[in-house]
């Protein structure tokens, strides 16, 4: 299965729980490396905003 494949809700519903779990695990990433640079920038900006909102990152240091 390709990492870029998108499964429909109907396809997922027809799978066993183990098959669905495998598909989800295959789509997980531990790094932004290899992803589109524009997408990486959006993820980083959103992550920074959330961290700042929750006091996990000093906005002045960012």
How is 13-56 classified by DSSP, letter by letter? HHS-HHHHHHHHHHH--S--TTS-HHHHHHHHHHHHHHHHHTTS
CB atoms within 10 A of CB 29: 10
Decide if 24 contacts 40 (C-beta within 8 A): no
Decide if 20 contacts 44 (C-beta within 8 A): no
Counted residue by residue, the chain has a size of: 62
Between 1 and 12, whose confidence is greater? Answer: 12
Banded pLDDT at 2 (limits 50, 70, 90)? very low
Q: Where do the structural domains in the chain lie, given as residue ranges?
A: 1-30, 31-62
pTM here?
0.55
């Amino acid at each position: 299965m390709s990492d870029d494949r998108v499964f429909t809700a109907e396809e997922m519903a027809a799978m066993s729980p183990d098959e669905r779990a495998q598909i989800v695990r295959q789509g997980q990433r531990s790094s932004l490396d290899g992803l589109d640079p524009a997408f990486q920038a959006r993820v980083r900006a959103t992550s920074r905003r959330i961290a700042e909102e929750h006091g996990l990152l000093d906005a002045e240091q960012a």
